[in-house]
Amino acid sequence: MLQQQNNKILCVYAKSQTYTNTVYEHLCSFKKYSKYSWFYCDFQKLEQVLSTCNKFQVIVIHYSVRLPFGQINQAVQSILKKLRAIKVLFIQDEYDHTNATINIMKKIAFDLVFTAVPEASIEKIYPKYNFPKTRFVSNYTGYVPEKIESLFLPAPPPSKRVLTVCYRGRKLPIRYGRLAQEKFIIGSRVKKFCQKNNIPCDIDWEEDARIYGNAWYRFILTAKAMLGTESGSNVFDWDNTIQKNISQHMKSKPFLSEKIIYNKFVKQHEVPGLMNQISPRIFEMAAGRTVMILFEGTYSGILKPDVHYLALKKNFKNLGQIFTRLKKEKIDLMAEAAFDHLVSSGKYSYREFVKMVDRELDQLIRLQALPPITNDPDLPEFMTAIHAFPKKSKWGQNWKKYFWLYLPQRLGPLAKKTFKHPFVQRLLKPV
């Protein structure tokens, strides 16, 4: 094993993005599980740190820092290029400004890139002739935090929960194509079905309805099931031409439908299956033992329909059948199966993820034969911890509503009486 005390890693991140659980957990996992010593620096202080402290064997740029948007300026790029340190990049959302990102990656000369592009598609996005000396490793956009199940305690079985289905999505611009639109499509169609059939639900996709922090985990427990889709976009806007063409056309014809915009500017660029990947939300649903209603898909090859989730056809023809199945107590067994496979097994944990990262770093450190750091100066205090950036969600302001949703799950024999109260019935009316 390598001597961890002599191998220091500087992780550059954007503290403004740590309000989301996934970003914060991803960042924390390295310090928690790696055998190396990790230090952290907000990208705005990077130039200052590099000019005063050159004691890191590895420099990591985290995906919370967006390369094509000037967060790593040209002066810092030049400094990074000259450093003898191993340079590592974690990157996501690679379908935006792809060429600009690639140019920066080539200038800095990263040795190792952890990409959200599935392994089968890496050569299509990052051909070897562009990166002859860079190793690309496909990884998921998030993993299972340690003891995440404790955040969901006490967790009533799905069959005993009050709401039937819940969901929070996001309506992305049509420029991202069909796969990205599925997040909105599944929410809007299922919400209409619930309203028509008087099924208790809490489904929304507006920005002000988003939920953060521990409130998100509590929200997952409010319903028997939660909706989900594969993540990613199969439309790469290499030089921002697609978005420019859409914006320019909309100036003269502002009322064009999204269908026309898609067919005219986007459809020819969409490559089905290029970026489809499992989302960290899948792991969160499994940890909460909440039944997953997911669009049919591959989900990175780790989920099986009717074993781990209820597969919803994209034409919604089996939607009624799925809600019929949710009325049966057998759904508890499916939720347990997903929990056992995704959470209890430990296969998809941050601990296993960081072990993989460490193995990749081991190889690079051996190959480059970097000398260990013997002089161990005191580093600035701000580099020893990740600075979380809190963001409040409006969901938390509606705590009275969700208190009543939880109450029937907690009171046992009194649940029926509480649930039948007219005031509670008004609160539980489909939204």
Please count the CA atoms within 13 angstroms of the CA of 358 that sit on its side-chain side.
22
Instruction: Decide if 257 is inside a domain.
Output: no
Range of the domain at 193: 148-236+271-344+393-427
Section 170-179 average pLDDT: 95
Are residues 104 and 88 part of one domain? yes
78's CB contacts (< 8 A; 6+ apart) are none
Query: What tokens appear for 85 in the block?
Result: 């340190």
The reply to whether 96 falls in a domain is yes
In a shared domain, residues 165 and 46: no
The residue among 232 and 370 whose pLDDT is bigger is: 232
Asked whether residue 340 falls in the same domain as residue 360, the answer is: no
**Would you place residue 229 in the very low, low, confident or very high pLDDT band (cuts 50, 70, 90)?**
very high
If asked whether residues 36 and 78 sit together in one domain, one would say: yes
400 and 300 in a common domain: yes
Query: d(Cα 188, Cα 204) in Å, to the nearest integer?
Result: 8
Residues 363 and 402 reside in one and the same domain: no
How confident is residue 380, by pLDDT bands cut at 50, 70 and 90?
low
In a domain, 264, yes or no: no
Tally of domains within the chain:
2
| pLDDT tier, 152 (very low <50, low <70, confident <90, very high otherwise) | confident
> What is the rounded distance in angstroms from the CA atom of residue 201 to the CA atom of residue 259?
28
Same domain membership, residue 310 and residue 374:
no
Q: Which residue has the higher pLDDT, 398 or 22?
A: 22
- Asked if the structure places residue 259 within a domain, the reply is no
Residue 263 within any structural domain of the chain: no
Question: Over the stretch 308-346, which tens digit does the pLDDT of each residue have?
Answer: 999 999 999 999 999 999 988 789 999 999 999 999 999
Residue 1's contacts (CB-CB under 8 Å, 6 or more residues apart) are 35
Contact criterion met (CB below 8 Å) for 148 and 343? yes
Tokens of 39: 């230090």
Q: Specify the pLDDT at position 431.
A: 44
Task: Categorize the per-residue pLDDT at 393 as very low, low, confident or very high, splitting at 50, 70 and 90.
Answer: low
Q: What is the pTM of this model?
A: 0.86
Half-sphere exposure of residue 137: CA atoms within 13 angstroms, side-chain side: 17
Are residues 170 and 22 both part of a single domain?
no
Q: Distance (Å, rounded) from C-alpha 310 to C-alpha 308? A: 7
| Whether residue 30 is found in the same domain as residue 156 | no
pLDDT digits (tens, 9 = 90+) for 45-98: 998 888 776 778 999 999 999 999 999 999 999 999 999 899 999 999 999 999
Single-letter residue type at 287: A
Does residue 201 sit within a domain? yes
Residue 88 shares a structural domain with residue 191: no
The larger pLDDT score, comparing residue 54 to residue 237, is at 237
Chain length of the chain: 431
230: in domain:
yes
CATH of the domain at 362: 3.40.50.2300
What does the pLDDT read at residue 139?
A: 98
**Residue 3 pLDDT exceeds 50:** no
What is each CA distance from 107 to 57, 83, 131, in whole angstroms? 19, 12, 11
Query: Does some domain include residue 406?
Result: yes
User: 48 and 19 in one domain?
Assistant: yes
Domain at 331, CATH number: 3.40.50.2000
The single-letter DSSP state of residue 335 is H
| Shared domain check, 18 and 55 | yes
